[in-house]
Structure 1
């Protein structure tokens, strides 16, 4: 090539080499798919999609992450709420986004494990349309009853339910939520009849228990801790295999006559499926650093979230296993969308 260019001086040679290098870079960028050509653009904004309304636990978790990621990467993270259809609206938006690491989803057990078994025409596939990036952490629920009800243990609750078959009920924020799923699992493992009562949200479901309108609830620990401390609700047992840091004196349900009982919700970050592995690994490393840092871990633990440090592959295996377990539970219980 150089003989064709007829380069005769060192200066001309340097000029020609610079031109050739620029041309090579241009050709390489044209050959790469958009997801790789524009991946990790410095300074470009990252959208973190929360598929639920602003103001809830999902929103708080997203803000903790956004602050940490912005600090680590130097890229502004903007939280965008896209609620609707039990997280399907926001999830499908991310699934269809350009896979370059600049649009991420705050996913959960509902969006990735329950939805595909509850909705026949889901506009996304939770296992095929996403690249799992990082598990933020797991969350316990707690079985609570009104303080006026003379029940002080899981064993007493089971006895009360069996003495009143089909009369005792539990409230929740919608079929497929962790509150709903925990109740259905409890019914199956204790062979009891407890009536499922859905409410528009967890706040309404909680007030229903406090007022005595319903007799029980498998509530998110964070959402009811203030009512427990105020003496309005009595905690009977936590749904995880281990005790909850927010309720250290409350035993797991599994230790109170329901062996093997375990139900935890979770939060995780997902990218579109064709996001380059290098981008996924980089984001995973940053998010894991953020969630396990003393400052962020303390904030997340205050929400009842036990943080995790899974690799993308470990998180993928976790999602597949949880999807299968929740699918089996939904099929066995026969529950349907509200």
Structure 2
């Protein structure tokens, strides 16, 4: 064997030994190589679904593979979230997480949650939105103060709808009842669409919803907005006062929507997805689309964006905050 032959064998052997070490990184660097499933734990037509479809469209454009929506509603978002928590951590099953199943439910279903916070890895926050408190047009009230006065004069006669038990919308209604000292019967629905239809028809008198999924009905006059639940008014409905302006500063709740993945998903995949979401929320066209729906940017980083680490820290703080509110309201779900 010549020296050239021995040299060639050493090169081939070195390449073979190095290949197993390089392949995982190589595979992750090529992610995604096939369509990705984005699980939405609520029914179609609600804000979670709207946000997911906007994000899926932009992720497809940026990463080159389809991001397909899989609606898995039920149990305030727990059913769909559990699907992702138990999925293979390969980056091909993601969750459009919400304030409900990502924070509030840990207090509401204490000891009975099908997954734990550590079963899901943070990827990025997409947007925050106000909740809107509104009424059917047949109800003779035009302000939040008038609603409270009507509820006190007609105890037990008002129903308040939300898109599901344990959602931030349900808890916003509970906060209103606590702060105002009124009673209304909570009617949970399996999504925003069915709830809005019942309030428009007048079969449920009061509703709470995320602004993006109700804003069209408010603008068209099919429903009457009384307040938004953020600290400042939303440019999307500048004429609608905040709950603080209406005399109830304790009724403040900002819903949020972001992406999580199964725990154990490789860090390069989380980082690539996180960077893509950060770029998407900063796109002028996407930002304008979100603002038109009444949404606000994530603003987790100094430049107004998001990262997996910042989103993880944010989720931890939200779990603590809403756990305290759930205890105060005394609401527990089976």
Larger radius of gyration between Structure 1 and Structure 2: 1
Contact kept, 8 Å, 2:28 with 2:268, in 1: the verdict is no
Q: Over the residues paired in the alignment, what is the CA RMSD in angstroms?
A: 2.6
2:330 aligned with 1:334: yes
- Correspondence for 2:301: none
Residues 198-217 of structure 1: pairs in structure 2 closer than 5 A: 198-217=188-207
**Mapping of 1:216-255 within 5 angstroms?**
216-255=206-245
Q: Return the alpha-carbon distance in structure 1 between the equivalents of residues 324 and 125 of structure 2.
A: 22
1:43 deviation in Å? 5.0
Question: Residue 88 of structure 1 is aligned with which of 78, 84, 103?
Answer: 78
CA distance in 2, matches of 1:313, 1:210: 41
Structure 2 counterpart of 1:39: 28
Is the Cα contact below 8 Å between 1:53 and 1:83 reproduced in 2?
Answer: yes
Q: CA–CA distance in 1 between the matches of 2:191 and 2:121? A: 30
Aligned pair 1:122/2:113, yes or no? yes
1:318 aligns with 2:314: yes
Q: Give the secondary-structure state (helix, strand or coil) at the position aligned to 2:118.
A: coil
2:134 corresponds in structure 1 to: 144
Of 104-113 and 82-91, more deviation after overlay is shown by: 82-91
Q: Mapping of 1:1-338 within 5 angstroms?
A: 8-10=2-4, 12-26=6-20, 28=21, 38-42=27-31, 44-45=33-34, 46-119=36-109, 120-125=111-116, 127-308=117-298, 309-337=305-333
Confirm or deny: 8 A CA contact 1:39 1:100 kept in the other structure: no
C-alpha offsets along residues 217-262 of structure 1, whole Å, 9 cap, x if unaligned?
Answer: 2223233333323333221110111212321111111122112431
Counterpart-to-counterpart distance in 1, 2:27 and 2:80: 23
State the distance in 1 between where 2:234 and 2:134 align. 14
C-alpha distance in 1 between matches for 2:42 and 2:191 = 12
Deviation of 1:54 (Å): 4.0
Gaps of 5+ in 2: 299-304
TM normalised by structure 1 equals 0.86
Give the match's secondary structure for 1:305.
coil
**Deviations 1:173-204, CA, capped at 9 Å, x for gaps:** 22112221110011122232232223444333
CA distance in 1, matches of 2:311, 2:262: 15
Structure 1 residues 214, 80: closer, same or farther in 2, change over 3 A? closer
Partner residue of 1:3? none
Q: CA deviation at 1:324?
A: 1.9
> Are the aligned partners of 1:138 and 1:264 in contact in 2 as well (CA < 8 Å)?
yes
- Of residues 54-63 and 248-257 in structure 1, the stretch that sits farther from structure 2 once superposed is 54-63
2:286 is paired with a residue of what secondary structure? helix
The whole-number CA distance in structure 1 between the counterparts of 2:193 and 2:263 is 35
SS at match of 2:264: coil
Q: Tell me if structure 2 keeps the 8 A contact 1:40–1:101.
A: no
Native 8 Å contact 1:141 1:218 kept in 2: yes
Give the CA deviation at 1:129: 0.8
